Amino acid sequence: MMELLRKQGWHVDEKLVGALKLPTLNEKALCDIDITSLTKGFLPDVNSSGAAAVKMPGPIVLQVVKVSNLSAPSYDQSSQGAPRMLKVTMTDGKTRITGIEVGYHGKLSLQTVPGTKIRFNSPSISVRRGLVEINPAVIDVLGGNVSHLVERWKLKQDMMAAGLRTTHTSIGGDRPKFENFSDSALKQARRGEIEEKRARAKKKNLETKEDEKPQREKMSSDVSTDAMFHSRQANDVVGSKLSEMEDKAYKEKQEKQRAWREKRSRRGMGDEEYTIGGQKVMTLEEHEAMEARKAELAKKGTLQYPSECDSSLVMSIAMQLAEMGFDLEEGKRVAANARDISEAVAMITSGQQQQQQH
């Protein structure tokens, strides 16, 4: 019996089949059993063979894993607007290959349940990069009903009909509601994603700023300290310059006041000789010295006028009389015969009284 099954394409493992303890061992019984319980795999590693085609001797029996329509969207496989182009994923119990429908087969459809057995009758089967052609001329759909695979497939179909997603690996648990997005809904969803990204970026930016705040405060404090230090240095320099200028101005003022007081102590104008009518005017020191000399001569009884009287003394007395309002020429004449200003004034006053009496 095993030899007959191999000729029909059933590459089963005798030990695995013996462990099942089937009442009858035939093709119909094997169709209702999961192929993973019948064989450890017999296909070559067709997915890593590169561009070269792999030739496999036939016939071989494979089990359907999933049937889908390549022309229809994944969320609406039963779309009436999409042409039929079936993609059948199959397995030998270990390795998976993909079959692409190249001709219509009446026993293959989206309602073909997982666990269904398909026999490739061709004596040589060509597989390239894990793909094999499904030609109705060389295949037979044997059928089969693997109960646990069928139940799981029906549950997925019911969930799809109820509008629920079935992309999760586990059947149970809460699942998000399936939504058929329109263009406007897609735009709104993308806009929401963009806003969410901006909110996350803003939050991250705020967190970064909070983390950097102590460092910024320290830098600001250091800058303020440096600015204060340089400001104080500048103030010290300015203050020193102002102090020097004030000291210089004070010294200049003192010097001017000293020079002014020295000039005030003279009868002339500063250190220059002052003359009136070509006659030199003596200074205060010279006048005091002359007065002392006159007093000494008077004590000796040798004082004579005007021979002993210096011309500078005469001009000094004349200038004092002029300052008092008397005529300068009259002052010179009187000063030639007077010993000091008081005597000269007395002489002028006496002469004026005599003129008034006449």
Mean pLDDT of 284-307: 62
Tell me the HSE value of 294 on the side-chain side, using a 13 A CA sphere. Answer: 18
More confident position, 46 or 105: 105
Among 52, 124, 74, 136, which residue's Cα sits nearest to residue 100? 136
Residue 344 phi, psi (nearest 5): -65, -40
H or E stretch covering 203: helix 183-264
pLDDT at 333: 74
Strands (E), the chain: 54-57, 60-69, 86-91, 96-101, 117-120, 124-127, 131-134, 139-143, 274-276, 279-281
pLDDT digits (tens, 9 = 90+) for 68-101: 999 988 888 888 888 899 999 999 999 999 999 9
Q: Is the pLDDT confidence value at 37 over 70?
A: yes
131-134 and 96-101 beta bridge pairing: parallel
DSSP per residue, 8-24: TT----HHHHHHHT-SS
8 A C-beta contact, residue 142 and residue 108: no
Question: Distance between CA 31 and CA 144 in Å, rounded?
Answer: 4
Is 0.85 topped by the overall pTM?
no
pLDDT at 40: 86
pLDDT digits (tens, 9 = 90+) for 161-195: 776 554 444 444 455 666 655 667 777 778 888 88
Q: What percent of the chain has pLDDT over 70?
A: 70
More confident position, 163 or 51: 163
Strands (E), 128-270: 131-134, 139-143
Our CA angle for 43, 47, 50, nearest 5°, is: 120
pLDDT at 251: 87
More confident position, 206 or 332: 206
Q: Is the pLDDT confidence value at 47 over 50?
A: yes
pLDDT digits (tens, 9 = 90+) for 314-339: 777 777 777 777 777 777 777 777 66
More confident position, 358 or 320: 320
Among 75, 59, 72, 146, which residue's Cα sits nearest to residue 109? 72
Question: Distance between CA 322 and CA 330 in Å, rounded?
Answer: 9
Q: What is the mean pLDDT of the chain?
A: 77
CA quadruple 29, 31, 36, 41: dihedral sign: positive
Confidence of residue 147 (pLDDT cuts 50, 70, 90): very high
Among 291, 283, 287, which residue's Cα sits nearest to residue 266? 283
* Least confident segment among 1-5, 89-93, 348-352: 348-352
Confidence of residue 268 (pLDDT cuts 50, 70, 90): very low
pLDDT at 110: 92
